[in-house]
Each structure stands twice: as C-alpha cells, then as structure tokens.
Amino acid sequence: MIVIDEQKCVGCGQCVADCVFHNLTVAQGKARVVQGCMQCGHCVAICPEQAVSIPEYEMADIESYDPESFHLEADKVLHAIKFRRSVRRFQDKPIEREKLERLIQAGRYTETAVNHQAVRFIVVQEKLEQFKPLAWEGWHNHVCALKAEDPERAKGFEGYEEIYRKDPTRDRLFFNAPCVIAVASDAPLDGGLASANIEMMAVAQGLGVLFDGFVLRAINHNPAAQEWLGLGDKQLAAVMLVGYPAVSYKRTAPRRAADVLWK
C-alpha cells in the first residue's frame, strides 16, 4: 500500500505523471492514492520531498541519487562485457559472505514483469558436498532419458559420471567451483535477467561465473534435488557456478559479426 506523508508532500505531481497505471492524483494540493497498484516504487524514487513510502517493502534500503558520484562510462561498461569469460577453472577458496550478499542484491534489484518480484535465489556453498550426489543422480537420469531419445548424442555424456567416480577432481558438472547459485522464478525471463546482473556483479568483485546448463538439466531430472534446493513451485531459470578464477585471460575472444537489422 502506497503511503503519502501529507506534511512533506508539496503537490508537485511528479509521482502522478510517472505512475504507469494512473493510480495517483493531486487533490487539494496533495498527492492521493486513487486505487491499488503494482507497487513498482517509481513514486518513491521520483518524489523530491521523500514523501512517499511503501511500508511492506524495506524502506531502509532506499538510497538517494547523487549524479556527481554515479556515472557509468559507456566504453568501460562495454569493455567489462567483452572481457568477461565463462570460467571453468576455480581456486580452492570460499567466497566471502559480503560478496555473496552483493550478488543477491544485484539480482534482487533487477526488473521483473509487472513488478512481480517472484525470483528466488538459492546459494549453495557450505552444503555443496551434500548437494552434489543429488545432482549426479539427476545427471544419470538425464543421460538415460537422452539415450532413449538420441543415442548418438548421449554417447558424448555417458562417461562423465564414471570419470568423476574415479577421480572427483575431474568434475564435468561442477568444475570444482566452491559455490552454486540457483535462480528460480515464476517467469523464466525474470530469473534470466536477474542472473545476468548477478554475473556482472560477480565480475566486478573479481569472481568468475559459469552458467551451467548441465547442472540445470540434472536438477530438472531429479525431484529430490529440486526439493533439497527449495524450489517449490518456481521454475529453474539458471544455475551459476561461482568462484575465484584460477585462470587469467589476456584478451577478448572472437565473435561472429552481429546479426542486426537496421530499419
């Protein structure tokens, strides 16, 4: 529920003009709530007098915008995007809690359709060794299902489990990463966008990330793994391996020319 402090409100109408569902109006010199809304928070963000709040949300997290200290240089942003790599070689080193919390903040503040905010983040680090057997069981189920559908394609994946059993350091599912972050949501796009922001925050903190489709398939093929993670009725959008890279790349990797239509 939107709350407007009439002592602070000056009736400027900025919140009214920015409300996408037209749920606000100005009456008798003060902003008023006309009806319920999706609580996107634009009215909170745009109010010059800090007169608007949403008590159901964590208002203590609100930050004021300072244009002097907040500036993204386009070339540096593009540089960061071009130089990021999918990391499969990690140091044997846990990730500090404060860095993990920044990753979750990056995901939490990502936009969601109609402000649904129904994204769940499962961070597995301390209990990763408990989770791995469930993932390998799911991978086994996945390979068995693939054999029935496409035997030739399945041959490329059959040996992964056997190799891991003989030598756990040769782990083609987890690549010895110290941490796994699973992102689940009601809408896959919401989870995907949040995952992308998490990766950018990881890179900013000196961490490496691999979007791991193998572990995602493994989880989807084992209900016990889904229950252990606490996915509930949410759909798994991404699984990310996260850790300190044990490799340093010297340059960007080549890419095909952009497939773009200018109209």
Q: Give the C-alpha separation, 22 to 17, whole Å.
A: 8
- Confidence band (pLDDT; 50, 70, 90) for 75? very high
- Confidence band (pLDDT; 50, 70, 90) for 242? very high
Range with the poorest average pLDDT among 13-17, 63-67, 187-191, 215-219: 63-67
Q: Is the pTM of this model over 0.85?
A: yes
When pLDDT is averaged across residues 43-72 and rounded to a whole number, the result is 91
Contact call for residues 95 and 242 (beta carbons, < 8 A)? yes
Q: Which pLDDT value is given to residue 150?
A: 92
- Asked if residue 99 has pLDDT above 90, the reply is yes
Range with the poorest average pLDDT among 58-72, 108-122, 130-144, 205-219: 58-72
- Confidence band (pLDDT; 50, 70, 90) for 36? confident
Contact call for residues 11 and 31 (beta carbons, < 8 A)? yes
- Asked if residue 177 has pLDDT above 90, the reply is yes
Assign a CATH topology to domain 3-61. Alpha-Beta Plaits (3.30.70)
CATH 3.40.50.300 corresponds to the domain 74-243 = no
Q: Give the C-alpha separation, 11 to 13, whole Å.
A: 5
Range with the poorest average pLDDT among 56-65, 187-196, 220-229: 56-65
Contact call for residues 160 and 140 (beta carbons, < 8 A)? no
When pLDDT is averaged across residues 206-218 and rounded to a whole number, the result is 98
Q: What are phi and psi of 114, to 5 degrees?
A: 45, 35
Q: Same topology for domains 3-61 and 74-243, yes or no?
A: no
Contact call for residues 243 and 207 (beta carbons, < 8 A)? yes
Extended strands (E) in the chain = 3-4, 24-27, 30-33, 52-53, 119-124, 179-185, 208-211, 235-243
| Domain spans, the chain | 3-61, 74-243
- Asked if residue 6 has pLDDT above 90, the reply is yes
CA 242 vs CA 27, 199, 215, 217: distances in Å: 52, 9, 13, 18
When pLDDT is averaged across residues 2-30 and rounded to a whole number, the result is 95
CA angle at residue 202 from 200 to 203, to 5 degrees? 65
Q: Residue 113 class from Cβ within 10 Å (0-12 exposed, 13-18 middle, 19+ buried)? A: middle
Indicate the average pLDDT of the chain: 95
- Confidence band (pLDDT; 50, 70, 90) for 158? confident
- Asked if residue 102 has pLDDT above 90, the reply is yes
When pLDDT is averaged across residues 173-183 and rounded to a whole number, the result is 98
Cα atoms found within 13 Å of the Cα of residue 134, Cβ hemisphere only:
16
Output the six-digit token pair for 234: 């949410």
When pLDDT is averaged across residues 217-224 and rounded to a whole number, the result is 98
Instruction: Give the pairing type, strands 3-4 and 52-53.
Output: antiparallel
Contacts of 134 (CB under 8 A, 6+ apart): 222, 224, 225, 228
- Confidence band (pLDDT; 50, 70, 90) for 65? confident
- Confidence band (pLDDT; 50, 70, 90) for 70? confident
Percent above pLDDT 90 for the chain = 90
Output the six-digit token pair for 122: 């499962």
